[in-house]
Amino acid sequence: MDIPYTVEVRRDTGLTNGKIGIWLFLASEVMLFGALFASYILIRAGSPSWPRGDTILNVPLATFNTIVLILSSVTMVMAWASLMRHRFGTFRIYMGATILLGFVFLVVKYFEYGHKIHLGLYPSSGNFFAVYYTLTGLHMHHVIGGMAVNAWLWGPGAKLWKTNPVWFTNRVEHSGLFWHFVDLVWIFLFPTLYLL
Amino acid sequence: MTSDHASMTSDHPVDIDRQVRIYITVFVALMILTIVTVAVSYLHLPMAMAVTVALVVAAVKGSLVACYFMHLIAEKKLIYAVLVLTVVFFVVLLALPVLTHSNGYWIDE
């Protein structure tokens, strides 16, 4: 049986099922990260002392990663815009750039974590590092998940463009919504963990 | 590809060229605000002021991403309804530590 309302809009919701589905998922994601942010506030406010992030963490590296993620959001939305303009080749370039930028983010994260571990700073090294590893670790897993979906849409999943371009365009838009959300989370993680 | 492809694509029968120009403008704004966030941190403002500035700048950046990259500026009512509900629960969630704090429960422990 075909999946209903992938292309045509449902009359009652005014949306495709994929669109409402991804937004409901993102709503649950807001609660997941919200719970962790609330925990961070609670732990930090209850702590007798708390180090400023920039005295422990590498701000230039994190700033670079912030720029990388924002840039990847632009390439992601341009990938979708390319499909809207019926330019599949351009889509491939922008989507490829998005995946590559995600990879750059992970490489920087690898060096950042590696340096901390080399110094013997683990999640068990105190409340600051417990919060730091939990929040950035969960975010990093979201980056990996987003990259996996984008890689599929860039590669084997792109076959759909030939048979049902509208459905494929919608899939890219929905994957993009997730990717932008991951960027949005980082926009809040960066100042609250690294700069304050 | 059919010429009505763009108009068929559910929710965005819009002028894509204009959209792309907006994306570039938003990108520039996000870059400037990132520089502002980092620059302000070097001023070593008092903590309350630093938190306020950092969160306001982050909120502006987040809103730009949500409104333009995620197309929330022109979305269907049902999506807004879902998000309003999410915001309510999110605020309650963030308020819980504050309420606990005012009771002094975990401070006195």
Q: Which residues of B touch A38 (CB under 8 A)?
A: 93-94, 96-97
- The closest alpha carbon to A113, from A58, A67, A33, A195, belongs to A58
Picking from B5, B27, B90, the nearest residue to A34 by CB comes out as B90
| Yes or no, beta carbons of A70 and B76 under 8 Å apart | no
pLDDT digits (tens, 9 = 90+) for A68-91: 999 999 999 999 999 999 999 999
- What are the structure tokens assigned to B64, written together? 């730009």
**Helix residue ranges, H only, chain A:** 17-46, 53-56, 59-84, 88-118, 127-154, 160-163, 165-189
pLDDT digits (tens, 9 = 90+) for A105-163: 999 999 999 999 999 999 999 999 999 999 999 999 999 999 999 999 999 999 999 99
In the predicted model, is pLDDT for residue B108 greater than 70? no
Class of domain A17-195: mainly alpha
In the predicted model, is pLDDT for residue B25 greater than 60? yes
What does the angle CA B15 – CA B21 – CA B24 come to, to the nearest 5 degrees? Answer: 140
pLDDT digits (tens, 9 = 90+) for B43-92: 999 999 999 999 999 999 999 999 999 999 999 999 999 999 999 999 98
Q: Which residues of A touch B61 (CB under 8 A)?
A: 187
Q: Which residues of A touch B2 (CB under 8 A)?
A: 165
Q: Which residues of A touch B93 (CB under 8 A)?
A: 31, 34-35, 38
What's this model's pTM, rounded to 2 decimal places? 0.92
Picking from A34, A78, A86, the nearest residue to B1 by CB comes out as A86
In chain A, where are the structural domains located? 17-195
Instruction: Give me the total of CB pairs closer than 8 Å, taking one residue from chain A and one from chain B.
Output: 149
Best of A43, A50, A74, A189 to substitute, by most chain B Cβ atoms within 10 angstroms, is A74
Between residues B106 and A190, which one has the greater pLDDT?
A190
3-state secondary structure of A9: coil
Write the DSSP symbol of residue A57: S
